[in-house]
């Protein structure tokens, strides 16, 4: 299994605008989302994970433990109950919205990349990040 911890930079993106539309993201935020090249840094200490996502506009950080529900305020303003789980070499994040729409993110790790599938209402986006 490839290591999860590391720093990743967006390399390619497919169907991300359609995914953001499905989530209910407004046009201005979608335009920003299409042009930004986020960097994701995943670190782990004593079973607690930290995922820091940085763009030119904003940095968000989320701390979690596998299998434990947390409250998450998303970049696009949704309020969610979020749970992370492991499925083989995949890190699965399920956001159950208390305000807005729910979504699921499946991150698969290789020695060179993180491949993230984002799903909402049957719309799937694939974003590939290169390991730094």
Question: Domains of the chain: which residue ranges?
Answer: 6-131
Helices first, then strands: H and E counts in the chain: 2, 10
What digits encode the pLDDT tens for the residues 32-79? 888 889 999 999 999 999 999 998 888 899 999 999 999 999 888 899
What digits encode the pLDDT tens for the residues 82-112? 999 999 889 999 999 998 899 999 999 999 9
* 3-state DSSP assignment of residue 79: strand
Pick the CATH number of 6-131 from 3.40.50.1100, 3.40.1110.10, 3.90.950.20, 2.40.128.20: 2.40.128.20
Q: Are 22 and 121 in contact (CB under 8 A)?
A: yes
Across 10-28, average pLDDT: 95
* 3-state DSSP assignment of residue 3: coil
């Amino acid at each position: 299994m490839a290591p999860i911890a590391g720093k990743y930079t967006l390399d390619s993106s497919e169907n991300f605008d359609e995914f953001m539309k499905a989530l209910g993201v407004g046009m201005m935020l979608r335009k920003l989302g299409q042009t930004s090249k986020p960097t994701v840094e995943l670190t782990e200490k004593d079973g607690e994970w930290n995922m820091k996502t940085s763009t030119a506009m904003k940095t968000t950080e989320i701390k979690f433990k596998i299998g434990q529900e947390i409250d998450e305020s998303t970049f696009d303003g949704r309020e969610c109950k979020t749970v992370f789980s492991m499925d083989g070499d995949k890190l699965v994040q399920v956001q159950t919205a208390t305000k807005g729409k729910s979504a699921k993110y499946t991150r698969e790790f290789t020695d060179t990349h993180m491949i993230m599938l984002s799903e909402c209402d049957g719309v799937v986006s694939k974003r590939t990040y290169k390991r730094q």
